[in-house]
Amino acid sequence: MSTLELPKDWSPEKLINLYKKMLTIREFEQRVSKDTGKIKSPLVHTYTGEEAIAVGACAAINEDDYITSTHRGHGHFIAKGGDINSLMAEIYGKEGGICKGRGGSMHVADFSKNMLGANGIVGAGPPLALGVALASKMRKESKVVLTFFGDGAANQGMLHESMNLAAIWKLPIVFVLENNMYGWSTPVHYATAIKDLSLRAQGYGMKGFTIDGNDVIEVYMAIKKAVDLARKGGGPTLIECKTYRWDGQTTMDPDKYRSTKEKEEWKKKCPIEAYKIKLIKNEVIDRAIIQKIEEDTLAQIELSVKLTKKSPKPDTNAVLDDIYKNPKNLGGN
Amino acid sequence: MVEETKIMRGLDAIRLAIEEEMENDESVFIMGEDIGKFGGCFFVTEGLLEKFGSERVLDTPISENAILGCAVGAAMVGMRPIAEIMFADFLPVCMEMIVNQAAKARYMYGGQINVPITIRVPFGTGIMGAAQHSQSFESWFMHVPGLKVILPSDARDFKGLMKTAIRDDDPIIFFENKRAYFLTGEVPLDKNFTIPFGQARKFTEGDDVTIVATGAMVQESIKAATKLKEDNIQCEVIDPRTLVPMDKKSILNSVEKTGKLIIVDEGCKTCSVSAEIAAFVAEEGFQYLKKNIVRINTPDVPIPYSPNLEKEIIPNAKLIQNYVKKLI
C-alpha cells in the first residue's frame, strides 16, 4: 500500500473513528502530563506518540475479544472502549476511578470491556494472556487475545515462556510488541543484539513481522491478519510495531538521556498528523470536520477532569475491602 | 448416619478430591509439568488424563511462570484452574505470578474480578531432596495479602480442604506435605464432604501443654503426646490446617486452658509459621501464658542431602517430648 492510500472498502465513519480515538489518547495524555503536579504520582506513564498501535490493533478485533496491557496502559484502555471519565478519576486516585482509586495509572482495567488490566510488572501480561486464550479455546468461544508489551519486556524470561507455550498449544493470541526504542533510559540497540525483535518469533515456531507502528492502517492490517489466523486455530503471531515514546518514561522523568534532535526527528513522524494528512488527501475529512473533532475531543477531556475533581477521595473505611471475595470461607461450601 | 469412608494415602485423597471436582464442574482443569501421561512426580494426578482427556489435564513445558500465568489468566475469565508446581522449591522461579498477579488482581482492579486458582505444591523433607527439593516455604506466602495458604497434614484433611480450595473464589496456595502423601487414613467418600477454611483441628485433648504443629510435625507431635501420656502429661495437639485464614481462636482457647505453648514447624526458624503464631499469642493471649512460648523449628540452614544430616536438623517426636518435659 502506498503511503497515501486508504482501504477502499472502509466507510468514512470507520476511517474517522481511528483518527478520533488516536486524538482522544493524545489529548488525554497531554492533559495527564500537564496535570502531573496535581496527580502527584511519579509513576504515570503516557502513551504519547504510540497511539497508532493501540488504536489500529483494537480496531482489528471484536468487542468481546480481549486485551492485556502494560504499565503504559491508558492508550490501550481508551482504544478498547474504556470510559475516559473513570480512567481520569483512577489516575487522580479518586473514588470514581475504574478501580476505585486502588490501582492507579499502572493498573487501569475495565473487565466489562475485556480490557484485562494495565500491569506494573514488565512482561507480566503475556503469561496472563495464555490463560485467557486457553479459556476461550476450551469453551470454544473463538475469542482472541491481544497482548501488548514493550521492547523492555522482550527480554523478560516470562515472555519467552509465554511465546513458547502459546505456540505449542496454538493459542489464539497476537503478541503485539510496541518497540518504542527505550526501556526507561536503556536503548533497544543496547538491550538487544538483533535489529528486528520480530525475529524472535522464529525460535518459537510462529510467524513474526516488523511493521511501522506509527501507521495506524498498517497496524490494523497486520493485526487483522494475525487475528484471523488465531481465530481459525492457526496459533499465535508476533507483530513488532516500531514507534517512539515522545515523553519521558514517566511524567516526572527529566529525560536527559535522549537528544532533542532524536525526539524532533520522531515527532516529524507523528502517527496522528500522518493519518490526518491521508484523510484530507483522500477527501475523507476537511478542515471543518477536523476542527469539530478537535473541539469535541478537548471538551470530552475537560469534562473528565471536571468530573474527576467532583469525585470524592476513596472511602478510607473501605480500604480493607475486596482483598478476598470470601475472606474466611469459614462456612465451607 | 455412619460416615462411609475408605482407607487411602494422602496423595490418593487429593486425587479423589480433584477427580470429584472435575466431574462436578466443567470449568475445573489441571495443568503442570509431567502431570498427564506420567501422572505427576508424586503420582497425585495418575489416571486423570485417561479419565478427563488432554483438554482438561494439560502437560506443560518446564515454564513455571507460564504455567501460573496461564492459570491466573484463565481464572480471571471464569475458569477454575488447578496448577501443580512440581516442588515448592520451584516457587521462587514463579513468585511473580503468585505475589504480584494472583494475589493482587482483585484488590488493585477495584474488586472487578476473582482469581479462583488452586496452586498445588509438594513440600518438605524426607526424600533426600537436599537443599533445592526439600524446603518449607509456607510462611513466605502468609506475608502476601490476597492469598489463602492451606496446609493439611493427613488424608482426610487433604480431601476436604482440597475440595473447598477448588470451590473457593480466591487464589489458593495448597501445600502438600511429602510425608503426608504416604500416610494412610480414613477418608470420607461423600462427594459433598468439604472442610471449611479457618478451622483448626484438635488431635488430642489435654490440660498441660498446647502443641501447635503443621504438616509432618503434626504426626510427630501426636507421637510425642502419646508417649507423654505414659508420664501423665496431657498435651493438646492442634493443627491450624489453614495458615491464612488462621483459626486464632482455637489456639488462644487452648493456651488459656494450658498456659503453655509449644509450636512445632518444619520451616527454618526465622520469620517462620511458628514466629507468626508466637507473635499473635503474645499479642492477644499474653495473660494466659505461664511460661515462655517455645518454638521448635528446623534451624536456619539449607537442607542437607545425607539422611543422618537431615535427621539431625528436622524436629521429631523425641525432641518435642524433651521440650515438653523441660517446660512442665
Looking at the structure, do residues B136 and B239 belong to the same domain, yes or no?
no
Nearest chain A residue to B194 by CA distance is A332
CA–CA distance, B165 with B177 (Å, rounded to integer): 16
In a domain, B84, yes or no: yes
Looking at the structure, do residues B306 and B180 belong to the same domain, yes or no?
no
pLDDT in tens, A7-50: 999 999 999 999 999 999 999 999 999 999 999 999 999 999 99
Q: Does A285 touch chain B (CB under 8 A)?
A: no
Rounded to two decimals, the ipTM of the complex is 0.96
Dihedral angle of Cα B166, B7, B320, B250, to the nearest 10 degrees: 50
Looking at the structure, do residues B239 and B181 belong to the same domain, yes or no?
no
Residue B78: CB partners within 8 Å, gap ≥ 6? Answer: A135, B27
Residues A333, B164: C-beta atoms closer than 8 Å: yes
CATH code of the domain containing B218: 3.40.50.920
In a domain, B268, yes or no: yes
CA–CA distance, B89 with B244 (Å, rounded to integer): 20
Candidate from B108, B196, B199 with C-beta closest to A103: B108
Q: Does A333 touch chain B (CB under 8 A)?
A: yes
Look up residue B205 and give its three cell numbers.
485433648
In a domain, B115, yes or no: yes
Q: Is B133 assigned a catalytic role?
A: yes
Measure B63 CA to nearest chain A CA, in Å: 6
In a domain, B193, yes or no: no
Q: Is the pLDDT of residue A331 over 60?
A: no
Cis check: omega of the bond before B145, within 30 degrees of 0: no
Residue B2 pLDDT: 79
Looking at the structure, do residues B223 and B136 belong to the same domain, yes or no?
no
Q: Does A107 touch chain B (CB under 8 A)?
A: yes
Reduced to 3 states (helix: H, G, I; strand: E, B; else coil), residue B267 is strand
Looking at the structure, do residues B229 and B255 belong to the same domain, yes or no?
yes
Q: What is the DSSP string of A285-325?
A: --HHHHHHHHHHHHHHHHHHHHHHHHSPPPPGGGTTTTS-S
Run of H or E residues at A118: none
Residues in chain A closer than 8 A to B108 (CB atoms): 99, 102-103, 107
Q: Is the pLDDT of residue A3 over 90?
A: no
In a domain, A285, yes or no: yes
CA–CA distance, A283 with B194 (Å, rounded to integer): 68
Residues A165, B70: C-beta atoms closer than 8 Å: yes
Question: Catalytic pick from B133, B159, B163, B201?
Answer: B133
Looking at the structure, do residues B286 and B227 belong to the same domain, yes or no?
yes
Residue A326 pLDDT: 85
Residues B198, A329: C-beta atoms closer than 8 Å: yes
Look up residue B93 and give its three cell numbers.
522461579
In a domain, A179, yes or no: yes
Is the distance from CB of A129 to CB of A173 less than 8 angstroms? yes
In a domain, B194, yes or no: no
Looking at the structure, do residues B90 and B127 belong to the same domain, yes or no?
yes
Q: Stretch A198-216: mean pLDDT, rounded?
A: 98
The rounded radius of gyration (Å) of the Cα atoms in chain B is: 19
Residues A135, B79: C-beta atoms closer than 8 Å: yes
Looking at the structure, do residues B136 and B274 belong to the same domain, yes or no?
no
Looking at the structure, do residues B269 and B146 belong to the same domain, yes or no?
no
In a domain, A87, yes or no: yes
Number of domains chain A is built from: 1
Provide the domain limits for residue B269: 201-327
Looking at the structure, do residues B236 and B174 belong to the same domain, yes or no?
no
Q: Is the pLDDT of residue A332 over 60?
A: no
In a domain, A98, yes or no: yes
Looking at the structure, do residues B32 and B146 belong to the same domain, yes or no?
yes
CATH code of the domain containing A49: 3.40.50.970
Q: What is the DSSP string of B147-200?
A: -EEE---SHHHHHHHHHHHHH-SS-EEEEEEHHHHT-EEEEE--TT----TT--
pLDDT in tens, B136-181: 999 999 999 999 999 999 999 999 999 999 999 999 999 999 999 9
pTM of the model: 0.96
Measure B115 CA to nearest chain A CA, in Å: 9
In a domain, B196, yes or no: no
Residue B155: CB partners within 8 Å, gap ≥ 6? Answer: B8, B9, B10, B12, B13, B180, B183, B184, B185, B186, B187
Is the distance from CB of A75 to CB of A24 less than 8 angstroms? no
Looking at the structure, do residues B179 and B207 belong to the same domain, yes or no?
no
pLDDT in tens, B152-162: 999 999 999 99
Whose cell is 501426636? That residue is B222
Number of domains chain B is built from: 2
Where a domain ends, among B156, B188, B220? B188
Provide the domain limits for residue A220: 12-309
In order along its 328 residues, chain B shows pLDDT tens digits of 678 999 999 999 999 999 999 999 999 999 999 999 999 999 999 999 999 999 999 999 999 999 999 999 999 999 999 999 999 999 999 999 999 999 999 999 999 999 999 999 999 999 999 999 999 999 999 999 999 999 999 999 999 999 999 999 999 999 999 999 999 999 999 999 999 999 999 999 999 999 999 999 999 999 999 999 999 999 999 999 999 999 999 999 999 999 999 999 999 999 999 999 999 999 999 999 999 999 999 999 999 999 999 999 999 999 999 999 999 9
